């Protein structure tokens, strides 16, 4: 029975996130537009863009990479806990593995900027954007590795996000929880406009049209949802065990989970307005604070 519940939780989570992902992109765009004074999109606009593109012409030769990007993003969503750790893929929820899947989904999209016949100005802009994002990966991957290291130092034996959530219910680790908040902020700062802004992603697709563009857009939305889910789990790591929840508690958890993602999307959307310059220094400062905090908690215990 527990196995059935775990797989049912997995399926429901994937279905919910698949529907919610474009709306979260709308939330980030709306939050950024409020502060920057730009035209504010309405909820559902991203879904309308995807639906309009899906009804357009099909480009079969580019469908493989688009499906691969969706699969990588979907794989990250499948192993990242949303409402509880009682799900089929929760044992694989290592922050570094999740991040590499999401970066892999973006890397699949980079090849569109280096296809045959890329000679126009918009193609050169796409290649410049790829170079910037590639260099940023050199900072994002160490932060993801730092998160796993912080968990190993602050709470030895905790395997991934699921193990962390279970162990926190048994052994309090306030220093680790605070360090993970700083690490999540560092990750959000590095991702910023380059990996979460829909407009920046559009630059990577200079030649894609119709259904192919819609598929790449949806893969970006799934990846953005994956980053938001990971950051939310790091900032609030104490997810309950589904086996201990009553039916009303489980229903409340399913209602609260999208609200948490919307709040994280709003915060990151606001942050993108202020993080248009060099984000490496604030990210290093936040990562350093996370290291100091977890080490101080470790030595004090």
Average pLDDT of the chain? 84
Q: Which residue has the higher pLDDT, 80 or 83?
A: 80
Higher pLDDT, 137 or 301: 137
Q: According to the model, what pLDDT value does residue 239 have?
A: 61
The mean pLDDT of 39-50, rounded to a whole number, is: 83
Q: How many residues does the chain have?
A: 301
Owning domain of residue 105: 2-300
Percent of the chain predicted with pLDDT > 90: 37
Per-residue pLDDT at 220 exceeds 70:
yes
Greater pLDDT, 177 or 252: 177
Residue 296: pLDDT over 80 = yes
Rg (CA), the chain: 19
Position 249 scores a pLDDT of: 67
- Is the Cβ–Cβ distance between 99 and 193 less than 8 Å? no
Confidence of residue 116 (pLDDT cuts 50, 70, 90): very low
10 Å CB burial of residue 233 (0-12, 13-18, 19+) is: buried
H-only helix segments in the chain:
2-36, 45-54, 63-79, 95-110, 121-154, 160-168, 174-196, 198-202, 210-235, 247-274, 280-300
Q: Which pLDDT value is given to residue 292?
A: 93
Nearest CA to 202 out of 278, 265, 129, 108 is that of: 129
**Would you state the pLDDT for residue 293?**
92
pLDDT-based confidence at residue 12 (cuts at 50, 70, 90): confident
Residue 118 has pLDDT above 80, yes or no: no
226-247 pLDDT per residue, tens = 999 999 999 887 665 555 556 7
Question: Per residue in 145-171, is it b (16+ CB within 10 Å) or e — as a string?
Answer: ebbbbbbebbbeebebbbbbbbbbeee
Task: Tell me the average pLDDT across 282-289.
Answer: 93
Average pLDDT over residues 18-34: 91
**pLDDT of the residue at 204:** 80
Question: What pLDDT, on the 0 to 100 scale, is given for residue 35?
Answer: 79
Mean pLDDT for 188-203 is 85
At residue 179, does pLDDT exceed 50?
yes
pTM for the model stands at 0.91
Per-residue pLDDT at 17:
94
Distances (CA, A) of 290 to 131, 186, 296: 29, 9, 10
Task: Name the residue with higher pLDDT: 287 or 210.
Answer: 287
The structural domain count of the chain equals 1
Can you tell me the distance from the alpha carbon of 126 to that of 204, in angstroms, rounded to the nearest whole number? 5
Per-residue pLDDT, averaged over 105-123, amounts to: 67
What is the pLDDT confidence band of residue 191, given thresholds at 50, 70 and 90? very high
- 129 with 118: CB under 8 angstroms? no
Of 131, 124, 112, 73, nearest to 208 by C-alpha is 112
């Amino acid at each position: 029975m527990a196995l059935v519940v775990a797989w049912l939780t997995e399926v429901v989570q994937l279905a919910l996130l698949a529907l919610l992902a474009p709306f979260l992109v709308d939330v980030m765009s709306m939050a950024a537009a409020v502060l920057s004074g730009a035209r504010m999109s309405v909820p559902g606009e991203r879904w309308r863009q995807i639906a309009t593109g899906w009804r357009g012409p099909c480009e079969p030769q580019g469908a493989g990479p688009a499906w691969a990007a969706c699969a990588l993003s979907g794989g990250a969503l499948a192993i990242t806990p949303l409402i509880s750790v009682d799900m089929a893929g929760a044992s694989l929820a290592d922050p570094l593995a999740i991040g590499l899947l999401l970066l892999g989904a973006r890397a699949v999209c980079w090849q569109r900027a280096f296809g045959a016949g890329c000679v126009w100005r918009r193609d050169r802009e796409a290649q410049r954007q790829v170079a910037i994002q590639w260099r940023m990966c050199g900072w994002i991957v160490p932060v993801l590795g730092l998160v796993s290291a912080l968990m190993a130092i602050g709470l030895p034996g905790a395997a991934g996000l699921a193990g962390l959530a279970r162990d926190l219910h048994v052994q309090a680790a306030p220093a680790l929880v605070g360090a993970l908040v700083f690490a999540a902020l560092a990750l959000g700062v590095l991702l910023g406009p380059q990996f979460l802004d829909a407009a920046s992603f559009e630059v990577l697709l200079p030649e894609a049209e119709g259904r192919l563009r819609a598929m790449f857009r949806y893969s970006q939305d799934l990846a953005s949802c994956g980053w938001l889910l990971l950051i939310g789990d790091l900032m609030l790591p104490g997810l309950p065990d589904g086996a201990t929840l009553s039916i009303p508690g489980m229903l409340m958890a399913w209602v609260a989970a999208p609200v948490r993602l919307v709040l994280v999307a709003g915060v990151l959307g606001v942050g993108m307005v202020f993080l248009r310059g060099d984000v490496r220094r604030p990210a290093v400062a936040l990562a350093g604070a996370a290291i100091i905090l977890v080490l101080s908690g470790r030595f004090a215990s």
